[in-house]
Amino acid sequence: MLAGGLYERTSGAAGQPLGSYQRRAPERTVLHELVARHAQSMLAELRHADPDGGGLPRYVERELAAYLRCGILAHGFTRVRCQTCHDEMVVAFSCKRRGLCPSCTSRRMADTAAHLVDRVLPAAPYRQWVFTVPKPLRLVLARNPAWTRWTGALVVRAIGAWQRRVARKRGLPTPRTGAVTFVQRFGGLVNLNVHFHLVVPDGVFVDDDQGLRFELLPVPTNADVLAILDRLLRRIARRLAMHANAGAFEDDARPDVLAQVQADAATTWRSSTETRATVRGVERLRAWCEGFSLHAGVVVAAHDRAALERLCRYGARPAFAQERLAWTADARIAYKLKRPWPDGRTHLVMEPVAFLRRLCGIIPPPRRHLVRYSGIFGPASKDRHALRALVPTDRSHEAGDARCTEPRPSQTAGPASRARRLPWADLLRRVFADDVLQCPCGGRRCIVAIVTDPALARVLLARFGLATEPSTFAPARAPPQADLPWDDAL
Ligand SMILES: [Zn+2]
Ligand SMILES: [Zn+2]
């Protein structure tokens, strides 16, 4: 996915510094219009509703502002020129945020998955474990990073403990386990739903005189999944009781605007008839109990690295698909459902401000990890080096898989590129989501200038014949009570 602001000069007036440029990527999406037109109104409304007058936390406002500037040339750009044909291109900066911006979050997803498959996960079958919690606990997790961290770690420990027990029964001494955990803050309907996707090797690692190697374990049974879920519930119940007794939730319960926005965003849309008839049960490797659930039904084979990459991308995916957003005729937002509901509904239709509030409830707070490595993959693991040697270097799966079309920083890389420092071209490719230094003529482009001063950017853009308007918020609308009919006599 492009950063939304890649411009290319059409007529190849070789050697001339100026020429006509043409936009190559669509820039004003539905989401962009939504944020530009309605964000200030929403923020003002929430400030108005807040007794303290603060409104949403600053990080939400910063995320909205950064998204609006992402890929817009008037906020700064890089100018590159081909050394062979002297053709030029300007590339806008991207926001690199992880909550709202579809192009930057998609980029992050592709990067994370490529990194995991190329550099972290050794050849082995992998199972996806998904742990979800009931709505009240989702809100606790959304607000409380320590709880999110603890719950994720608890799931990793419970699955690891079960795997090690099975391994020891099979006569494997000192089995080692590990997991990569993706914290997803959203459900499938642009709703706040903090839950955990774990990618776990379907076996254990054993280190003996032959070195570190993988040992396959039997497929978990329904009873295993239910037993792990029961164990998780007991631990969570104990911790909740402890915290409630210590009054720890009273601080958290102070009703601020974000809490209200998150509670609204946690609404799931589903009618109550679709909730499960039984409180506790298990079926096809999915166990559920009192609103919690644990699913272990998805597995990828050891040889299928492309499927593993898709699984990692699924874990690291953005909160919503922007191509499913559309304006309705009466200027509301329609979000297309993956498949029609039994009642025939094909879209969720919402007021723009209401939809925006939902998105704001989902944006992750800054500096919280959304991907965690634990056990043998953890930062402190002494086996990380030995594990690296078990990561397949064969890239043949990439050619045949049409779904993996994102540019891959390490695509052409051999072992030499595994050095710590990435070359400039790789870094730029990561930032701009495209190899901007590769000219269609076959030559290499070099950077002529990096323009960060908006005033200078506009002067230059005007000379290039490109759009110079920055992307700005529309002012907040007046509150509804001001919308009284005009009296011409006044
Ligand atoms: Zn060229
Ligand atoms: Zn962005």
Ligand number nearest to the C-alpha of 438: 1
Tokens of 340: 């029609």
Ligand number nearest to the C-alpha of 89: 1
Q: Ligand 2 mean position to 446 CA, how many Å?
A: 23
Query: Which residue in this structure is represented by tokens 């079958």?
Result: 125
Q: Are 219 and 364 in the same domain?
A: yes
* Mean pLDDT value of segment 221-227: 97
In Å, how far from its chain's centre is CA 283?
Answer: 29
pLDDT of residue 486: 41
Distance linking the first and last C-alpha atoms of the chain: 54
Residue predicted with more confidence, 49 or 327:
327
Is 487 a member of any domain?
no
pLDDT of residue 431: 54
Position 251 confidence tier, pLDDT thresholds 50, 70, 90: low
Handedness of CA 121, 127, 131, 132 (dihedral sign): positive
pLDDT of residue 327: 94
Q: Ligand 2 mean position to 472 CA, how many Å?
A: 15
Ligand number nearest to the C-alpha of 88: 1
* Mean pLDDT value of segment 129-153: 93
Is 131 a member of any domain?
yes
Tokens of 314: 């699924």
Condensed to tens digits (0 to 9), the pLDDT of residues 285-341 reads 999 999 999 999 999 999 999 999 999 999 999 998 888 999 999 999 999 998 898
Contact 222, 282 (CB under 8 A): yes
Query: Looking at the predicted structure, is the pLDDT value of residue 42 above 50?
Result: yes
Is 488 a member of any domain?
no
Position 269 confidence tier, pLDDT thresholds 50, 70, 90: low
* Mean pLDDT value of segment 361-383: 92
Query: Looking at the predicted structure, is the pLDDT value of residue 271 above 60?
Result: no
Q: Ligand 1 mean position to 439 CA, how many Å?
A: 5
Burial (CB < 10 A; 0-12, 13-18, 19+), residue 430, is: middle
Of the candidate ranges 21-25, 198-202, 423-427, the one whose mean pLDDT is the lowest? 21-25
Is 469 a member of any domain?
no
pLDDT of residue 331: 93
Q: Are 22 and 160 in the same domain?
A: no
Q: Ligand 2 mean position to 278 CA, how many Å?
A: 43
Residue predicted with more confidence, 285 or 446:
285
Query: Looking at the predicted structure, is the pLDDT value of residue 221 above 50?
Result: yes
Residue predicted with more confidence, 55 or 3:
55
Q: Are strands 286-289 and 292-300 parallel, antiparallel or unpaired?
A: antiparallel
Q: Which of 346, 366, 396 is the last residue of a domain?
A: 396
Position 11 confidence tier, pLDDT thresholds 50, 70, 90: very low
Ligand number nearest to the C-alpha of 99: 2
Q: Are 188 and 296 in the same domain?
A: yes
Tokens of 296: 């272990």
Chain-wide mean pLDDT for the chain?
81
Is-above-0.85 flag for pTM? no
Q: Ligand 1 mean position to 81 CA, how many Å?
A: 8
Q: Ligand 1 mean position to 437 CA, how many Å?
A: 10
Query: Looking at the predicted structure, is the pLDDT value of residue 91 above 90?
Result: no
Ligand number nearest to the C-alpha of 32: 2
Q: Are 56 and 140 in the same domain?
A: no
CB atoms within 10 A of CB 245: 8
Q: Ligand 1 mean position to 88 CA, how many Å?
A: 8
Q: Ligand 2 mean position to 99 CA, how many Å?
A: 9
Ligand number nearest to the C-alpha of 446: 1
Q: Ligand 1 mean position to 443 CA, how many Å?
A: 5
Q: Ligand 1 mean position to 12 CA, how many Å?
A: 9
pLDDT of residue 439: 82
Is 86 a member of any domain?
yes
Q: Are 60 and 11 in the same domain?
A: yes
Of the candidate ranges 42-51, 405-414, 464-473, the one whose mean pLDDT is the lowest? 405-414
Q: Ligand 1 mean position to 14 CA, how many Å?
A: 9
Q: Ligand 2 mean position to 91 CA, how many Å?
A: 13
Is 403 a member of any domain?
no
Residues forming beta bridges with residue 184, ordered by sequence position: 195
Q: Ligand 2 mean position to 95 CA, how many Å?
A: 4
Tokens of 189: 């309907």
Tokens of 46: 């929430």
pLDDT of residue 490: 35
Query: Looking at the predicted structure, is the pLDDT value of residue 482 above 50?
Result: no
Contact 202, 217 (CB under 8 A): yes
Q: Ligand 2 mean position to 61 CA, how many Å?
A: 14
Q: Are 161 and 60 in the same domain?
A: no
pLDDT of residue 35: 94
Q: Are 16 and 82 in the same domain?
A: yes
CA distance 146 to 143: 9
Q: Are 392 and 275 in the same domain?
A: yes
Condensed to tens digits (0 to 9), the pLDDT of residues 162-183 reads 999 999 999 998 999 999 999 9
CA distance 208 to 383: 13
Contact 27, 92 (CB under 8 A): no
Tokens of 268: 């799931």
Q: Ligand 1 mean position to 89 CA, how many Å?
A: 10
CA distance 266 to 198: 22
Q: Are 377 and 422 in the same domain?
A: no
Position 454 confidence tier, pLDDT thresholds 50, 70, 90: confident
pLDDT of residue 141: 93
Ligand number nearest to the C-alpha of 27: 2
Position 253 confidence tier, pLDDT thresholds 50, 70, 90: low
Q: Are 239 and 186 in the same domain?
A: yes
Q: Ligand 2 mean position to 2 CA, how many Å?
A: 10
Q: Are 133 and 264 in the same domain?
A: yes
Q: Ligand 1 mean position to 245 CA, how many Å?
A: 69
Is 331 a member of any domain?
no
Q: Which of 340, 375, 396 is the last residue of a domain?
A: 396
Domain that holds residue 15: 6-100+408-464
Q: Ligand 1 mean position to 142 CA, how many Å?
A: 49
Q: Ligand 2 mean position to 243 CA, how many Å?
A: 38
Q: Ligand 2 mean position to 98 CA, how many Å?
A: 8
Q: Ligand 1 mean position to 24 CA, how many Å?
A: 17
Residue predicted with more confidence, 428 or 147:
147
Q: What distances in angstroms separate CA 34 from CA 183, 277, 327, one per listed residue?
A: 27, 39, 9
Q: Ligand 1 mean position to 21 CA, how many Å?
A: 15
Condensed to tens digits (0 to 9), the pLDDT of residues 392-428 reads 986 544 433 333 333 343 333 333 333 344 455 555 5
Q: Are 69 and 214 in the same domain?
A: no
Contact 206, 401 (CB under 8 A): no
Is 319 a member of any domain?
yes
Query: Looking at the predicted structure, is the pLDDT value of residue 196 above 90?
Result: yes
What is the H or E stretch that residue 8 is in?
strand 6-9
- Which residues hold their Cβ within 5 A of ligand 2, which is an ion? 70, 94-95, 101, 104
Q: Ligand 2 mean position to 345 CA, how many Å?
A: 32
Q: Ligand 2 mean position to 94 CA, how many Å?
A: 5
Ligand number nearest to the C-alpha of 442: 1
CA distance 365 to 59: 7
Tokens of 101: 């911006």
Domain count for the chain: 2
Ligand number nearest to the C-alpha of 102: 2
